[in-house]
């Protein structure tokens, strides 16, 4: 086999030699395609595996950790929650609408493959600077794509994040998360149960779209690649997915399916190989039986990533019933093979075995690398000059920065109330939905602080996990578990690799402390274009619950006259990275001081105070303090034209970041009870002011409420149009 062909398939010559030696024969082109699909980063985690193994993945509520289509946690009674986040970064840059739409479609399939009905989606999207040509096009396309798919299939989008930063200029990020509800005794796994079971194909016909999508996702880009790669982007059809979802859920609840696997990245190849590997069995598939949209070669069928397709194993005796149900939903269905005891993956086409490989070499012998990494040097601390900075300018700096403005333009394009169980919509600290027919609620959020992580990957990651944690706590949601999406540039650069290793380490430390195991996840590497690496962006999706929907907090102001208290500890001005960056005090990444060590015990202590006070119904509203400090938190809490009057020693304090930071609104009559509770718990608090009608007042300086709020609410759309 010639070298060029091997390299084109994304394999190194060394990797090829391992395969060649094991098989002791030449490979067919189809077999080479299989290794190309299965041995890339996207499918086999060859760079990250060593480090991911260190993450905590289990505790008393974990039903299914990483390794299945989605993780599942226990929500008492017979309720389980399945959830996962996944990236669709490269496709969304090449073709933003379809790239992001199919990202949503893919993650939803991961959820209903487990037998769970999706009940919410979230996302985390990052773009370059708005001034950069293309950013507006990418933003419009991505938001349209996410909305189109989720709206049509009818799953509420309940939250997420959307940020703009220069390193994403030619490498935007699109991470989509989905949450589903499953009955614990009806969870489906990808492991087939019996030898002789029929392998059946369910869903859309196979076409040319997405061939080599998974290996493209593991590639470094240059701008010229864009047009050439566009045919590798899958095209989504949410209507088809809706039918597929209803059909599959009906099959599963009727007990007609043994196991199921979504044909996602690397299509039929990956799903069948995983099935064989999980069950420690073999598969024999006749590619001639695969429903096709257009004539395709065996090689193309194996690698197509056409959307809205499932592979399932059924008992022979159920064949007729399965066909009947799927006919009702107008879904293509075909028996294409069977489960064998050979522990080999065999594909035949035109009466010829085009692939005949032991499962072992594809899965167990997949490469695993221990790549070189550097630990960032310790930063020298220095003081910045804040003397020239004025309160008015600080406010203007926030209100002219897309990252601080109200993102309704984004969220309003998503249906967030379909299914009728939504309690908190996007734009609040976490999205909340009710488990249908119960009093239980699920809260979820996505977060990442790339700037923190670039400054100090280990501590920065702790802050990221803590931010998600606070987002849930603020709503009186108990944090339960995590899904992660590690977006990094090329791990071949030891500096980047160092960020990957250390941030996983930080994730581990925080997850252990918060008892929030990582139950599913995804890794996206090589996020760099024209040799500009993205900032390290390990996104966290955190899920939590409250068993009583009447106990959750709102993030919005409730009543004029109520007092505003601050909990937590302010980071020093010199060590508040977003303050320094966004108030234009530090420009270069090398200028920043190191992060303060985040005290996770302190985070827990304050969080417990918030939870207890919420249960006592002493908290009228609560929001966490993150980027933009108290001021930004207060802006987000505006509701029904209620503003605030506050007094602080130094106005800059209002813009500093926090550890364990919360703004809470309490009634005057509860002041005594709340403050003595906090004092008893050893939790310091700061009373900064009160809620007033249609006003914003800081240290006796009055601002035009409607001017500020109009900018906050409407300027996002103005800037991006």
Partner 1 sequence: MSFKSAVITFPGSNCDRDALCYLKDLTKGEVHNIWHEETSLPKVDLVILPGGFSFGDYLRSGAMASKSKIIDEVVKHANDNRYLLGICNGFQILTEIGLLEGALIRNKKLKFLGKNCFIKKKFKNNFNSSIKDNQILQIPIAHNEGNFYCDIETLNLLKNNEQIAFEYCKGEFSNTEENMNGSIEAIAGITNKKKNVLGMMPHPERAYSDFHQSQDGRLIIESLIS
Catalytic annotation, residues: 42, 88
Half-sphere exposure of 572 (CA within 13 A, CB side): 13
Nearer to partner 1, 158 or 525 (CB): 158
Q: In the numeric block, which tokens belong to residue 120?
A: 């919410």
When the beta carbons of 415 and 599 are compared against partner 1, the nearer one is: 415
Give the integer Cα–Cα distance in Å for 631 and 625.
Answer: 9
Q: How far is the CB of 136 from partner 1 (least distance, A)?
A: 14
Strand-strand pairing, 478-487 and 537-546: antiparallel
**Angle made by CA atoms 43, 46, 47, in degrees to the nearest 5:** 125
Q: In whole angstroms, what is the distance from residue 395 CA to residue 709 CA?
A: 12
- Residue 243 or 302 with smaller CB distance to partner 1: 243
User: CA-to-CA distance for 695 and 196, rounded, in angstroms?
Assistant: 72
Q: By C-alpha distance, which of 593, 459, 519, 527 is closest to 216?
A: 527
CB-nearer residue toward partner 1: 154 or 255: 154
Question: Does residue 644 contact residue 635 with C-beta atoms inside 8 Å?
Answer: no
349 versus 476: smaller Cβ distance to partner 1: 476
| Contact pick of 22, 137, 587, 706 for partner 1 (by CB under 8 A) | 706
Q: b/e per residue, 518-531, with b = 16+ CB within 10 A?
A: bbbbbbbbbbbbee
Stretch that binds partner 1, among 150-158, 160-168, 315-323, 535-543 (CB under 8 A): 150-158
Question: Does residue 152 touch partner 1 according to CB under 8 A?
Answer: yes
Question: What residue has token string 């028996």?
Answer: 335
Q: Which of 573, 588, 542 is nearest to 653 (CA)?
A: 573
* Number of residues near partner 1 (by CB under 8 A): 35
Site string for partner 1, 382-421 (x = CB under 8 A): --------------------------x--xxxxxxxxxx-
Q: Does 243 bind partner 1 (CB under 8 A)?
A: yes
- The 221-240 site mask, x for binding partner 1 (CB under 8 A), equals ----------------xxxx
Beta carbons within 8 Å of 64's beta carbon, 6+ residues apart: 70, 71, 72, 82, 114, 187, 189, 519
- Under rule CB under 8 A, residue 154 binds partner 1: yes
Residue 510, token pair as written in the block? 């925080």
549 lies in the binding site for partner 1 (CB under 8 A):
yes
Q: Cα(564)–Cα(696) distance, rounded to whole angstroms? A: 13
Q: Does 588 help bind partner 1 (rule: CB under 8 A)?
A: no
Burial class (CB in 10 A: 0-12, 13-18, 19+), 26: exposed
Shortest distance (Å) from residue 141 CB to partner 1: 12
Residue 68 per-residue DSSP state: B
Q: Which 424-483 residues touch partner 1, going by CB under 8 A?
A: 434
Q: Contact letters (x/-) for partner 1, 603-642, by CB under 8 A? A: -------------------------------------xx-
Binding of partner 1 by 568 (CB under 8 A): no
- In the complex with partner 1, which residue's Cβ is closer, 240 or 543? 240
- Consecutive H or E run containing 679: helix 671-680
Nearer to partner 1, 110 or 237 (CB): 237
Shortest gap between Cβ of 81 and partner 1 (angstroms)?
Answer: 18
Rounded to a whole number of angstroms, the minimum distance from the CB of residue 154 to partner 1 is: 3
Best CA proximity match to 663, nearest among 681, 642, 689: 689
Task: Please select the residue that binds partner 1; options are 709, 711, 715, 720, rule is CB under 8 A.
Answer: 709
Place of tokens 């550890």: 659
Q: Smallest gap, in angstroms, from Cβ of residue 641 to partner 1?
A: 5
In the complex, the smallest distance separating the C-beta of residue 239 from partner 1, rounded to whole angstroms, is 3
**Residue of 32, 62, 153, 622 that binds partner 1 (CB under 8 A):** 153
The interaxial angle of helices 391-399 and 629-636, nearest 10 deg, is 50
| Residue 160 contacts partner 1 per CB under 8 A | no
- φ/ψ (deg, to 5) at 204: -60, 155
According to the binding rule CB under 8 A, does residue 557 interact with partner 1? Answer: no
The residue among 98, 92, 192 whose CA lies nearest residue 134 is: 92
Q: How far is the CB of 80 from partner 1 (least distance, A)?
A: 20
State which residue, 119 or 496, has the beta carbon closest to partner 1: 119
Q: Which stretch binds partner 1 (CB under 8 A): 54-62, 152-160, 379-387, 679-687?
A: 152-160
The whole-angstrom separation of Cα 266 and Cα 107 is 15
Closer CB to partner 1, residue 145 or residue 544? 145
Give the binding site for partner 1 (CB under 8 A). 144, 147-148, 151-154, 237-240, 242-243, 329-330, 408, 411-420, 422-423, 434, 549, 640-641, 706, 709, 713
């Amino acid at each position: 086999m010639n070298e060029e062909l091997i390299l084109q398939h994304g394999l190194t010559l060394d990797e090829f030699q391992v395969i060649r030696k094991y098989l002791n024969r030449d490979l067919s082109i189809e077999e080479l395609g299989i290794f190309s699909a299965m041995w890339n980063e996207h499918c086999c985690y060859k760079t990250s595996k060593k480090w991911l193994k260190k993450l905590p993945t289990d505790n008393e509520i974990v039903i299914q950790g990483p390794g299945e289509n989605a993780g599942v946690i226990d929500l008492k009674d017979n309720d389980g929650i399945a959830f996962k986040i996944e990236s669709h970064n490269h496709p969304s840059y090449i073709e933003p609408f379809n790239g992001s739409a199919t990202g949503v479609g893919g993650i939803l399939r991961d959820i209903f493959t487990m037998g769970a009905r999706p009940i919410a989606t979230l996302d985390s999207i990052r773009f370059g600077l708005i001034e950069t040509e293309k950013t507006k096009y990418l933003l419009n396309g991505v938001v349209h794509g996410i909305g189109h798919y989720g709206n049509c299939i009818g799953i509420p989008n309940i939250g997420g994040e959307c940020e703009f930063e220069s390193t994403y200029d030619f490498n935007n990020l699109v991470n989509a998360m989905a949450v589903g509800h499953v009955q614990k005794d009806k969870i489906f796994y990808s492991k087939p149960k019996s030898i002789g079971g029929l392998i059946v194909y369910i869903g859309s016909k196979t076409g040319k779209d997405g061939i080599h999508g998974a290996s493209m996702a593991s590639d470094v880009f240059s701008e010229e690649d864009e047009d050439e790669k566009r045919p590798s982007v899958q095209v989504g059809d949410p209507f088809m997915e809706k039918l597929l979802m209803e059909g599959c859920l009906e099959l599963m609840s009727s007990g007609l399916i043994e196991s199921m696997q979504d044909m996602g990245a690397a299509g039929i190849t990956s799903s069948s190989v995983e099935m064989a590997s999980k069950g420690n069995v073999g598969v024999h598939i006749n590619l001639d039986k695969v429903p096709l949209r257009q004539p395709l070669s065996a090689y193309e069928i194996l690698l197509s990533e056409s959307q809205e397709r499932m592979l399932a194993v059924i008992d022979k005796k159920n064949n007729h019933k399965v066909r009947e149900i799927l006919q009702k939903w107008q879904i293509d269905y075909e028996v294409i093979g069977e489960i064998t005891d050979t522990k080999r993956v065999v594909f035949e086409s035109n009466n010829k075995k085009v692939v005949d490989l032991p499962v072992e070499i594809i899965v167990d012998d997949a490469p695993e690398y221990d790549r070189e990494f550097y630990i960032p040097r310790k930063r020298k601390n220095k003081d910045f000059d804040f003397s020239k900075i004025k309160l008015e300018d600080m406010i203007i700096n926030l209100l002219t920065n897309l990252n601080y403005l109200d993102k309704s333009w984004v969220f309003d394009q998503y249906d967030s109330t379909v299914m009728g169980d939504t309690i908190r919509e996007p734009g609040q600290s976490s999205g909340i939905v009710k488990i249908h027919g119960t009093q239980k609620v699920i809260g979820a959020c996505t977060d990442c602080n790339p700037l923190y992580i670039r400054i100090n990957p280990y501590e920065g990651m702790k802050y990221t996990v803590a931010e998600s944690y606070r987002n849930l706590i603020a709503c009186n949601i108990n944090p339960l578990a995590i899904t992660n999406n590690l977006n990094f540039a090329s791990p071949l650069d030891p500096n980047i690799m160092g960020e990957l290793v250390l941030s996983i380490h930080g994730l581990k430390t925080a997850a252990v402390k918060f008892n929030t195991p990582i139950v599913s996840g995804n890794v996206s590497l090589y996020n760099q274009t024209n040799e500009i690496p993205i900032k390290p962006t390990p996104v966290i999706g955190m899920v939590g619950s409250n068993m009583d929907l009447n106990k959750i907090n709102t993030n919005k102001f409730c009543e004029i006259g109520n007092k505003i208290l601050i909990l937590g500890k302010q980071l020093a001005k010199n060590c508040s990275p977003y303050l320094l960056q966004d108030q234009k005090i530090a420009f270069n990444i090398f200028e920043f001081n190191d992060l303060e060590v985040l005290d996770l015990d302190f985070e827990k202590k304050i969080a417990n105070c918030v939870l207890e006070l919420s249960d006592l119904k002493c908290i009228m509203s609560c929001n966490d303090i993150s980027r933009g400090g108290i001021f930004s938190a207060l802006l987000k809490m505006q509701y029904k034209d209620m503003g605030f009057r506050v007094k602080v020693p130094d106005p800059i304090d209002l813009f500093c970041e926090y550890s364990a930071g919360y703004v809470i609104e309490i009634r005057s009559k509860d002041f005594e009870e709340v403050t003595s509770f906090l004092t008893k718990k050893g939790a310091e608090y700061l009373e900064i002011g009160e809620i007033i009608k249609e006003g914003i007042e800081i240290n006796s300086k009055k601002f035009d409420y409607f001017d500020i709020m109009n900018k906050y609410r409407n300027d996002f759309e103005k800037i991006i149009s």
